[in-house]
Structure formats: C-alpha cells, structure tokens
Amino acid sequence: MADPIELLLKGLEEAPPRPVYLIHGDLVLAEPAARKLAEGIGKLAGSPVEERRRPTGLSPILEDLQTYSLFTPAKVTLVIDSTICADRAAAAALIDEVREVLPVGESQSLTGRERRAASRLLQTVRLFDVDPLAGTPEQALGGLPDWALAGGGKKSGGRSRKLTKKQVSTLRGELGELLRRAREEELAGWSESDLARLGEVVQGGLPKNHCLILAERSAPKDHPLVVTLAERGAVVAVGGVASEKRGGWRGLDLLARQMEEETGASITRDALHELARRTLRQKGGWGDASVDGTSTARLAGEYRKLANLANAGRIDRALIESTVLDRGEEDVWKILDAIGAGKAPEALSRLRRYLASGGDAIALRLSFFSLLASFCRHLTAVRAMMRLARIPPGERSYPRFKERHAPGLLAAPPAGGKNPLAGMHPFRLHKAYLAASRLPEAELNRLPWRVLETELLLKGEGSDADGALQGLILRLVGC
C-alpha cells in the first residue's frame, strides 16, 4: 500500500502545498509521519522546520505564519499535540457565546456587544466551510448541523446547557436575523479563538511557502475543520492501537513497523505481544477500546531501550521479561473473579500488577478496595437471601441459576424492606453466589467487620496497607 505522506510529497511537484495539513492518530505514528511531511515541504520551500510541542495556544503561531519576514521567505511549522481538533464541541461552544446577545435589539445599528457576537457568528459559519455572505441568511445557516447550534454545553467549554430541538429551531431564526444585520453593516468577521483563527487560515490561506503541519492524537471525522481539510486532501489518518474485546491489542503491527524503521531492530511476534502486555493500558473504562497515549509512548521508549540491548538487532521475549517492568493493563473484574473462584495466587498476582501499573498507588489501592468492599457486601447479602429463600448452594450452570435461583435472590425479603441485591445483573449475581456458596456462613457473617478493619488499616491505622488488603483477599479465597 502506498505511503500517504509520500503521495502528498509527490503531489507537491505539480501544485504548491496546502496552508494546513493534519496528520492524526497515535502520536508514536503521527509525529514521525508529520515530521516527514514537514521536512519534505521545508526542503522544497528552502526553509528549516520549526517544531512546537503542546503549545498553550495556536494564535501566536498563526500570527507568525501570516507575517512575511525580510530574512526568511519561507516558514514551515510543525505543531505536535495541540489538541485543536480533539473535540467537535469546541466549534459548538462558539455558538454559546453568540447566544448570549440573542435576540438582537431593534435599534438601527448593532451595539458593540452585538457586533462582536455577529463577528463570531461569521467565523463559526466559515468553520463549516460555508460562505456566510452567500445566499440568504437562512441558506447560509442551513449549512450548520443541529449539534453545532445546540451548543457545546458546560462540560465541553460552553456556557449553558445544550438546547432541545425546538429551541434549536427558534435559535436558527434569531441567528438569521443577526447574520442579516451583520451583512447590512458589512462586518468581516473577528475572533480571538484559536479554532476560529485556524479556520481563517484554512479558508484564506497563508503567504507563499508558508505552511502549518499539525500532528494530533484525535481528530473526529465530523469536526468542521477536519471535514474541510479532508475535502482539500490535507488529512492523513495514520491509525493507532486499540484493545480487542477478547483481549489483546489491534494495530500493534503499525507500531512495530514504525519502531523497526526508527531503530533498525526487529522484534519477534511473541515478544511484541509481551511488550504490549507489559506497557499498554486502556484510556477509559469498560467499553472504551481506545488506548492511553502515554502507554504507547512508554512502549516506544521501551522498544528503543531494547533495541540498544538486542543482540544481532532482534528483540526476543526473554530480553523483555528480564528488562521491562510489568505495568500493563489489568482488569479489576478479573481480580474479583479470581477471588470469587478461590484462586489465591492468581488474585494476588493480578493485584500486584494492578498496583504497579503506574499513577498514584494510594488512589489505586483505595479504588480497588471500594470495589472489593462492595463485593463483600454482596457476598453477605447473597448468603442471607439464600437462607431466607431456601436456595441451595453450588449451582454452577448459569442458565439454570438465572432461571431457578436468581429471581429468589433478587426478590424483596419475606419480612419486608429493601433487598440490597435488587437490580444486580444476574451474571454478576451468579459470580457472587458461587463465591458465597464456597465460604462458611460464619466467615461471611464476619465480613462486614473484616471490611471495616481493612479500611481503617488502609487509611492510616496500619503500617502495611498492601498487607492489609492481601489479608482480606486471603480470607475471601478461604486461605
């Protein structure tokens, strides 16, 4: 498959470079790809590449690119991880600022505050590659999707709650009136927003031989700037790593090829998967397949170290096992499953791996203890409901358990009151039921005290927090 960066560089033989290029994906892949493009453009333009990493804002960089220099007739700037396109809601949040002046007054001319809002509206419409001065105001605003008019919301940087469909319809009318007044007063459009300034550059261009290349982790396809740049052939998606539902990681081969090209050292397939197991972590919670970018950066860093140590330029599993500290992804639910199944060595091994995965060890320990305490409460409640509903222990078949025993465990207690198991998913309930079936009832009755005692030791009354947590786990597995 042809290298998309090579195709872009080849196209420069027939046409000048675009003012802005966007290369997005995991930064381990996006950064070298963007640097290759920037160096290629810089060579053609006769300019060295200026590199800026995680800038606090784009406006100063854009101002510099928009200005001719007496000494440097060409400027090529590579910006890494600006997050400018990370969230499409940033574009929608601009509408929130405009809404603050609506509806506009009936005076013959706009007030200063209304003029600023009208200028921001003009800029926002241009972000979506729509000419705000073409056609009627209603036609121009028709190019804006409903989600943009609904606003960014407070969580996304906006200033108000998102609107309902009816409110969006009303807003279109009010914005149409503001746009009509802006046309009458011949406003050009003004904005101090980085996003709007970048939109100006994409639409209006830069001086000859001036170019901006962005290397970003995230660029949603429906973000207005991404859409506009894609239509101009100025976007390259280099991909990345994602977790798979049944374990493992998708996209590892991309990282391996990049690191082999960079270091000259190859890696065996089993060594690659072991390196990923020891370094990669998911970005979010359950259901989020994305991978934490800092963990892919760690994989790349470990690969470079291993390449220096590898004999004959080939990294094998033995080298990884003797060199790389295991701080990879660990599923806390698998720790609880091992505890419920009475597998002490596996539970303790997984716990140590989880606590060593990086970050705040105290926070990780307390977070896991919160889940473990909830599990203990479920065990005590399950055993009590088994006794009240006369449910026999040890039914290992989940379908039979779900049909015959789950309704009784989830029902209201015979004496009235709320069942602490109400609403629990039958699958998790079955796990707790099997664990409760395995433990003596006397030990389950003492669990609330064991949990309280462990909590006190974790929060300062003991000198060995890990030992206290491991002690509770050993009691739960029956050791």
Collapse the DSSP code of 80 into the 3-class scheme (helix H, G, I; strand E, B; otherwise coil) and give the result.
strand
- Domain ends where: 270, 289, 323? 323
Residue 425 and residue 358 in one domain? yes
**What pLDDT score was predicted for residue 289?**
62
* Amino acid (one-letter) located at 439: L
CA distance 40 to 8: 10
> Pick from 183, 210, 239: which residue ends a domain?
239
**Token digits of residue 181:** 């007044």
One digit per residue, pLDDT tens: the chain, 479 residues? 578 999 999 998 888 999 999 999 999 999 999 999 999 999 998 889 999 998 878 889 998 898 876 667 889 999 998 878 766 666 667 777 788 888 887 777 888 888 888 887 887 787 777 788 888 888 888 878 877 777 655 434 444 456 777 888 888 888 888 988 888 888 866 555 788 888 889 988 999 889 999 999 888 888 888 989 999 999 999 998 888 776 678 889 999 999 999 999 999 999 999 999 888 887 655 455 678 778 899 899 999 999 999 877 899 999 999 998 877 777 788 888 889 888 999 888 888 888 876 667 788 888 889 989 999 999 999 999 998 889 999 899 999 999 999 999 998 887 778 888 888 899 989 999 999 999 888 888 889 999 999 998 888 776 788 888 999 999 898 76
Q: Is 170 in the same domain as 57?
A: yes
Are both 211 and 274 inside the same structural domain? no
Tell me, yes or no, whether 284 and 338 share the same domain.
no
Q: Are residues 304 and 340 in the same domain?
A: no
The beta-strand segments (E) located in 197-334 are: 210-216, 235-239, 242-243, 249-250, 266-267, 314-315
Distance CA 145, CA 458 (A): 51
Question: Range of 336's domain?
Answer: 332-476
Give yes or no: residues 225 and 255 share one domain: no
Same domain as 234, residue 263: no
pLDDT of residue 156: 41
Torsion of CA 473, 474, 476, 479, to 10 degrees: 170
Residue 283 has, within 13 A of its CA and on its CB side, a CA count of: 14
- Does 424 share its domain with 458? yes
Helical axes 465-476 vs 344-355, angle rounded to 10° = 150
Q: Are residues 62 and 171 in the same domain?
A: yes
Residue with tokens 């200026």: 50
How many domains does the chain contain in total? 3
Give the start-end residues of each E strand in 133-234: 210-216
Number of other CB atoms surrounding residue 300 within 10 Å: 21
Q: Quick one: pLDDT at residue 157?
A: 42
Q: Which helix (H) or strand (E) holds 428?
A: helix 426-438
In our burial notation (b when 16+ CB lie closer than 10 A, e otherwise), range 321-354 reads eeebeebbbbeeeebbbbbbebebebbbebbebb
Query: To which H or E segment does residue 176 belong?
Result: helix 165-184
Token pair 């203990």 is found at 376
Q: Are 119 and 191 in contact (CB under 8 A)?
A: yes
What is the CA 411 to chain-centroid distance, rounded?
39
| 305 and 342 fall within a common domain | no
* 246 and 233, same domain (yes or no): no
Alpha-carbon distances of 238 from 32, 215, 263, 439, rounded to whole Å = 10, 10, 19, 52
CATH code for the domain of 354: 1.20.272
Among 343, 102, 392, residue whose Cα is nearest residue 110: 102
Q: Are 22 and 198 in contact (CB under 8 A)?
A: no
What Cα–Cα distance (Å) separates residue 393 from each residue in 160, 252, 256, 375, 406?
A: 54, 45, 50, 18, 12
Please answer whether residues 315 and 271 qualify as being in contact, where contact means their C-beta atoms are separated by less than 8 angstroms. yes
Q: Whose structure tokens read 């290629």?
A: 40
Q: Is 268 helix (H, G, I), strand (E, B) or coil?
A: coil
Q: Which helix (H) or strand (E) holds 23?
A: strand 20-25
**Residue 461 DSSP class:** I
Q: Evaluate whether 352 touches 335 at the Cβ level (below 8 Å).
A: no
Preceding peptide of 103 cis, ω within 30°: yes
Structural element, H or E, at residue 52: strand 49-53
**Domain boundary residue, one of 323, 340, 356:** 323
To 5 degrees, how large is the angle CA 409–CA 413–CA 418? 95
- The pLDDT of residue 18 is 93
Same domain, 183 and 196: yes
DSSP one-letter code for 216: E
Residue 109 burial class via C-beta count within 10 angstroms: exposed 0-12, middle 13-18, buried 19 and up:
exposed
Question: What is the distance between the alpha carbons of residues 216 and 66, in angstroms, rounded to a whole number?
Answer: 22
Question: Domain holding 285: CATH number?
Answer: 1.10.8
